[in-house]
Amino acid sequence: MTQQTTSSTRPLRVSRAQAPLSGSIRVPGDKSISHRALMFASLAKGTTHISGLLEGEDVLCTAAAMRALGADAVQEGPGQWRVSGPGVGQLKEPDNVLDMGNSGTAARLLSGILASHGMTSVMTGDASLRRRPMKRVMDPLAGTGATFLAREGGRLPMAIRGLADPKPLDYRLPVASAQVKSAVLLAGLNAVGETRVEEPVATRDHTENMLRHFGAEVSVEKTPDGGRIIRLQGRPNLVARDVAVPGDPSSAAFPLVAALLVAGSDITIFGVGLNPLRTGLFTTLQEMGAQLEILNARTEGGESVGDLRVRASALKGVEVPPERAPSMIDEYPVLAVAAAYASGVSRFCGVEELRVKESDRLAATVALLENNGVRTAVEGNDMVVYGTAGHIPGGGKVETHMDHRLAMSASVMGLVAEKPVEIDDTSFIETSFPQYLDLMNSIGAGFVA
């Protein structure tokens, strides 16, 4: 599994695991909550202490952006941060371009804040982020009165001229997107009156939870067709409140699936976030026959948390309904690896959102499997995986397209494939999961970079 490189890329060659995975681990803090904790703490009056903050490259870009906008965000220890902000509507115009790195979440959420402050700002990101569409937030946020100037297709770099007195929005999302919903709600913080967002399917609600945590008035109403209406009263007096960030369930997915697939494995993952709008993967894996137990369930900082015990399991194919997609949208690549190893056919319904992630994640996941001998099909907005009953051929090279989740999914596949799996670049794993290779090695993966 040794790989050498002389460039900034970090290829990896992964061979079949020679022994079961075992031990107890903690995964990094939840990326979605970490971004939001920094942003809301910067908009609140007073000093917020954040524990468990993910210190991957994406989140550090958010911290730098909030400092550039006038907040005081200081690391006081590993995962421990102190943030003091000037309050809603009081951020200052940045002196330079805001670099959001690889994070679509940060760029889209911050767009809502920038659109509702009387300033001009410019955002950019790395090569991957500059390919991702921002029009989905530009269009609704233009309703505040803000103006946007971006490259063709609404791609970064993007200039925003915000208003100090923005209009409140009443917006129905055409497709389920927690990022767009959150951008609209963040814009509504500095708008007089009520901001209303309707989503066709319930998406992760970390923004609503954190708004309440910092003192905003937020109501949520379920619609007869399974959607939700969120109402926010503008110009709240946000007050600093400490935030404990739970372990990221999207990061936990990789050691979890690896333990399910590598024969004889038995691991425990401590302190994982169990927000019911984020646990679609766990539900799906249990439907496939996974021995996955939730232990010591509790509530910390307004979020459900628990410990996961995972043991190697014989998995079978499953059909995942489209309404579950928002609760596991980032986990489909590693779920596809689990489905490839399972017996029977799996169908993932309504996964069109994968086409606008860090890469065209749908096409890239298909390539990940097919290059390693697994048959797949894309039928409309559904992805079909034909399980190999534990006999993934492997032997292929995976192009990650600067997508951290594809790289980690490929590494999990390599642990159970019959021939080694070549990964073109693992450097982008740092955006969401620092020390991923080391953590996996601590339970016996045997990765050698």
Read off the amino acid at residue 85: G
User: Does the annotation place 357 within a ligand binding site?
Assistant: yes
User: Does the annotation place 36 within a ligand binding site?
Assistant: yes
The torsion defined by the Cα of 298, 301, 303 and 309, in degrees rounded to 10, comes to -40
User: Does the annotation place 247 within a ligand binding site?
Assistant: no
Q: Is 438 marked active-site?
A: no
User: Does the annotation place 104 within a ligand binding site?
Assistant: yes
Question: How many other C-beta atoms are found inside a 10 Å radius of the C-beta of residue 131?
Answer: 18
Read off the amino acid at residue 291: Q
User: Does the annotation place 361 within a ligand binding site?
Assistant: yes
Sign for the pseudo-dihedral over CA of 134, 140, 144, 150: positive
User: Does the annotation place 16 within a ligand binding site?
Assistant: no
Read off the amino acid at residue 44: A
**Cβ(317)–Cβ(344) below 8 Å:** yes
User: Does the annotation place 222 within a ligand binding site?
Assistant: no
**Cβ(394)–Cβ(64) below 8 Å:** no
* Burial class, 50, CB count within 10 angstroms (exposed 0-12 / middle 13-18 / buried 19+): buried
**Cβ(314)–Cβ(275) below 8 Å:** no
Strands (E) in 33-146, as ranges, are 46-51, 72-77, 80-85, 98-99, 120-124
* Alpha carbons 66 and 34: distance in angstroms, whole number: 13
Active-site hit among 126, 248, 330, 425: 330
User: Does the annotation place 432 within a ligand binding site?
Assistant: no
Question: How many other C-beta atoms are found inside a 10 Å radius of the C-beta of residue 230?
Answer: 22
Would strands 421-423 and 397-398 be described as parallel, antiparallel, or unpaired? parallel
User: Does the annotation place 425 within a ligand binding site?
Assistant: no
Residues identified as active-site: 330
Annotated binding site for 3-phosphoshikimate: 31-32, 36, 177, 179, 330, 357
Annotated binding site for phosphoenolpyruvate: 31, 104, 132, 179, 361, 405
Annotated binding site: 31-32, 36, 104, 132, 177, 179, 330, 357, 361, 405
